[in-house]
Copies of this chain bind each other. A is one copy, B any other.
């Protein structure tokens, strides 16, 4: 049914918080150059049925960590932290929207906190009718990592990665583009002289890499990418390919959107 209504299968583009914001210091800092260029590339690509999800970066993580929002409600003092965090990620979303709306590109923000309820940190209920209707009318919905109400722990943080994966499955997306600040999934610490990104990985390859790294390695060893990809596994298992590209490099987002050859890692089910 859904496929019939949505004529071509959508593309989900995730703009990483690490690409569109600066992590330096305590203050939320946008990377306006990356936001503007990525927006211009998105507009130029004119992909039909596009859903954009962006991360929170320095507009979300420092406050979310300070108030331990991900772990849910513990004490009253967290509430202002949640309110301010939502306000800050909305401000970042406003900057992304401003960049998209400059050039006859009808993008409309969709606030996860307004339509998502989670359970123990996992998206449980997602009112997607407005979003699907926006898509069908030819608008580009823009979502973002946000705080949401949680039926077990009161509230939590839902990452742009989780949103991208859930949306891709809900919408039967034809691909997910993860546009971060690295050239793909690296075979070791990206700063190491010999390290280079994989061109292509399968789910089985990913499993092998995870086993090799072990549980203690954490996601940072591979440039923060392995943790993100864990979030995307259900989508990969559903047959949706994931392209990991570098949004901080000119034309990567454009090429990934239109399907041109681009530096990065393609991850597929098999």
By a beta-carbon cutoff of 8 Å, the part of chain A in contact with chain B is: 73, 76, 79-80, 82-84, 86-87, 90-91, 94, 97-98, 101, 104-111, 113-117, 125, 127, 129-131, 133-134, 137-139, 147-149, 151, 154-155
Give bound CA distance, A131 to B115, whole Å.
Answer: 9
Are B97 and A138 in touch, CB under 8 angstroms?
no
Chain B min CB distance to A171 (Å): 15
| Set of chain B residues within 8 Å of A147, measured between Cβ atoms | 108
- Contact with A113, one of B94, B108, B148, B154 (Cβ below 8 angstroms): B108
| Set of chain B residues within 8 Å of A131, measured between Cβ atoms | 114
Are A138 and B83 in touch, CB under 8 angstroms?
no
Copies in the complex: 2
Are B94 and A139 in touch, CB under 8 angstroms?
no
Decide: A114 near B115, CB < 8 A? Known: A127-B127, A149-B130, A154-B137.
Answer: yes
| Set of chain B residues within 8 Å of A115, measured between Cβ atoms | 114-115, 127, 130
- Contact with A97, one of B87, B129, B155 (Cβ below 8 angstroms): B87
- The 3 A-B residue pairs whose C-beta atoms are closest, nearest first, are A127-B127, A133-B149, A114-B114
> Of residues A101, A105, A131, A154, which shows the largest number of chain B Cβ atoms within 10 Å of its Cβ?
A101
| Set of chain B residues within 8 Å of A109, measured between Cβ atoms | 86-87, 90, 111, 113-114
- Name A149's closest neighbour in chain B (CB-CB): B133
Decide: A148 near B130, CB < 8 A? Known: A104-B80, A115-B114.
Answer: yes
Decide: A98 near B87, CB < 8 A? Known: A115-B115, A130-B115.
Answer: yes
Give 20 pairs: A residue, B residue, CB < 8 Å, sorted on A. A79-B106, A79-B137, A79-B138, A79-B139, A82-B108, A83-B106, A83-B139, A90-B90, A108-B113, A108-B147, A109-B111, A111-B114, A114-B114, A114-B115, A114-B131, A125-B129, A127-B129, A130-B148, A133-B151, A137-B155
Are A82 and B98 in touch, CB under 8 angstroms?
no
Chain B min CB distance to A47 (Å): 16
- Name A81's closest neighbour in chain B (CB-CB): B106
Chain B min CB distance to A106 (Å): 4
Are A133 and B117 in touch, CB under 8 angstroms?
yes
Chain B min CB distance to A70 (Å): 16
Are A149 and B137 in touch, CB under 8 angstroms?
yes
Are B110 and A114 in touch, CB under 8 angstroms?
yes
Are A73 and B137 in touch, CB under 8 angstroms?
yes
- Contact with A83, one of B82, B107, B148 (Cβ below 8 angstroms): B107
- Name A155's closest neighbour in chain B (CB-CB): B137
| Set of chain B residues within 8 Å of A98, measured between Cβ atoms | 87
> Of residues A73, A86, A114, A125, which shows the largest number of chain B Cβ atoms within 10 Å of its Cβ?
A114
